[in-house]
């Protein structure tokens, strides 16, 4: 059973609720609490956030706009659309406008789909060929994309529920460590298999064009045998669904960053959110930061895999969420 469904079933049953989970895909479940109230969930989406707020943050461009209006530091960027959408809107910005804008920002830039999650197609672009490659791939399935300035620093997710930070962790991009005998492709496959055993969804593909580009910039290929203990990063984005790993900062996050994440969550009308930021050190007083994204249905399976303490934090969070849904 998928991790989220398994946890929700476990906790809801302990609360005396009746749980039905669709058996084929194990994505959708229905919960009837002991007081007769009912709720449903779809994977990591629970009925705890309003539809409007959830829909707003699912569009990265709109989310950035409102956060900027509220006074938060967000990524500098703009949205661009496929030809079908450009034909319908008053201020069209097409794929070629996106490239012109990327040059204005200064390469490298980040190009990402406007409304997708899990780090899919999020790409650090260094030249025109790379830009058009990811833009054309994005427009095969999506109507819009974002071109953003690249910000250096450490990537953190801060998890908030009802005015409280319940977890904070650094997200580190997919990497492999050489053993002196295996090719990078073999190391990637070994890592993928290990991650699949403990996580609900891992999107690692050795044929991913982003991995090939990253290796090429390091004068490496998938057939390269890395020396013992040599660390090589394979992606630029730190999404855990793309095989990245996390380091728990829940006990050491500075109160300034806790307040920042709580206020962002409140201002967007959310109760549950994962706030993604770039900063140097989340354990020190807040001096500089950039909000990358806000997620209204954060997946926690990867964080849980860090250990028993993290698993307990996740279970405690879902207990609070279900308790709130039962009593509202």
Residue 14 lies inside a defined structural domain of this protein? no
Instruction: In whole angstroms, give the CA distance from residue 294 to residue 212.
Output: 29
User: Of all helices (H) and strands (E), which one includes residue 310?
Assistant: helix 308-327
Residue 29 falls within a domain, yes or no? Answer: no
Which of 194, 209, 234 corresponds to the end of one domain?
234
CB 174 within 8 A of CB 235: yes
H/E stretch holding 168 reads: strand 164-172
**Domain encompassing residue 125:** 76-150
> Is residue 257 domain-shared with residue 291, that is, in the same domain?
yes
According to DSSP, the residues that pair with 205 across neighbouring strands are none
Query: 310 and 243, same structural domain?
Result: yes
Q: Do residue 230 and residue 310 come from a single domain? A: no
**Residues 228, 180: contact at Cβ < 8 Å?**
yes
Closest CA to 187 of 197, 199, 178, 196: 178
> What does 114-170 look like in DSSP terms, one character per residue?
SS--TTTT-EEE-SHHHHHHHHHHHHTT-SEEEEEE---SEEEEEEEETTEEEEEEE
Residues 230 and 247 in one domain: no
Output the pLDDT for position 201.
63
pLDDT, tens only, 158-214:
999 999 999 999 999 999 999 999 999 999 999 888 877 765 566 788 889 999 999
The pLDDT score that the predictor gives to residue 122 is 93
Task: List beta partners, residue 82.
Answer: none
Q: What is the DSSP string of 264-292?
A: HHHHTT-SEEEEEEEES-TTS-----EEE
Has residue 8 been placed in a domain?
no
| Domain finish residue from 194, 218, 234 | 234
Residue 43 covered by a domain: no
Residues 294 and 328 in one domain: yes
Query: Which pLDDT value is given to residue 198?
Result: 66
- 289 and 275, same structural domain? yes
Considering the domain architecture, whether residues 99 and 188 belong to the same structural domain is answered as no
Peptide bond into 108 cis (omega under 30): yes
Q: Which of 208, 234, 260 is the last residue of a domain?
A: 234
Residues 84 and 228 in one domain: no
Distance, CA of 18 to chain centre = 31
pLDDT value, residue 283: 98
In a domain, 5, yes or no: no
Helix (H) or strand (E) segment spanning residue 256: helix 255-267
Bridge partners of 278?
155, 290
280 and 203, same structural domain?
Answer: no
Please check whether residue 165 lies inside any domain of the structure. Answer: yes
- Examine the domain organization and report whether 317 and 255 are in the same domain: yes
Question: Across the strands, what pairs with 80?
Answer: 145
Any idea what the CATH number is for the domain that residue 111 is in?
3.30.1490.20
Any domain includes 82? yes
Please tell me whether residues 114 and 262 are part of one structural domain. Answer: no
CATH code assigned at 255: 3.30.470.20
Same domain, 162 and 252: yes
In angstroms, the CA 190 to CA 185 distance is: 9
DSSP line for 74-120: B--EEEEE-HHHHTTSSS---HHHHHHHHHHH-SSEEEEESS--TTT
Point out the residues of the chain with pLDDT beneath 50.
none
The tokens for 28 are 């959708």
Is residue 225 situated within a structural domain?
yes
Total tally of structural domains belonging to the chain: 3
């Amino acid at each position: 059973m998928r991790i989220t469904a398994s946890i929700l079933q476990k906790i809801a049953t302990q609360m005396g609720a009746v749980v039905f989970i669709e058996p084929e895909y194990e994505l959708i479940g229905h919960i009837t609490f002991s007081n007769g109230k009912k709720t449903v969930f779809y994977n990591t989406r629970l009925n705890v956030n309003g539809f409007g707020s959830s829909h707003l943050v699912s569009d990265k461009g709109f989310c950035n706009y409102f956060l900027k209006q509220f006074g938060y530091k967000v990524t500098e960027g703009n949205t661009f659309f496929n030809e079908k959408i450009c034909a319908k809107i008053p201020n069209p910005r097409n794929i070629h406008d996106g490239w012109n804008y990327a040059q204005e920002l200064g390469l490298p830039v980040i190009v990402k789909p406007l409304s997708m999650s899990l780090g899919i197609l999020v790409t650090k672009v260094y030249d025109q060929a790379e830009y058009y490659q990811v833009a054309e791939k994005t427009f095969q399935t999506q109507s819009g994309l974002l071109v953003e300035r690249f910000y250096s620093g450490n990537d953190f997710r801060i998890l908030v529920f009802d005015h409280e930070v319940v977890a904070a962790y650094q997200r580190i991009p997919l990497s492999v460590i050489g053993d002196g005998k295996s090719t990078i492709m073999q190391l990637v496959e070994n890592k993928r298999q290990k991650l699949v055993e403990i996580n609900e969804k891992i999107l690692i593909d050795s044929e991913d064009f982003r991995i090939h580009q990253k290796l090429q910039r390091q004068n490496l290929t998938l057939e390269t045998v890395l020396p013992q203990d040599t660390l090589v990063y394979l992606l630029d984005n730190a999404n855990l669904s793309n095989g990245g790993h996390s380091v728990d900062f829940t006990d050491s996050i500075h109160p300034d960053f806790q307040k920042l994440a709580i206020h962002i969550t409140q201002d967007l009308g959310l109760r549950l959110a994962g706030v993604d930021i770039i900063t140097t050190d989340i354990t020190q007083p807040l001096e500089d930061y950039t909000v990358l994204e806000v997620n209204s249905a954060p997946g926690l399976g990867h964080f849980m895999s860090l250990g028993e303490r993290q698993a307990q934090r996740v279970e405690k969070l879902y207990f609070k969420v279900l308790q709130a849904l039962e009593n509202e």
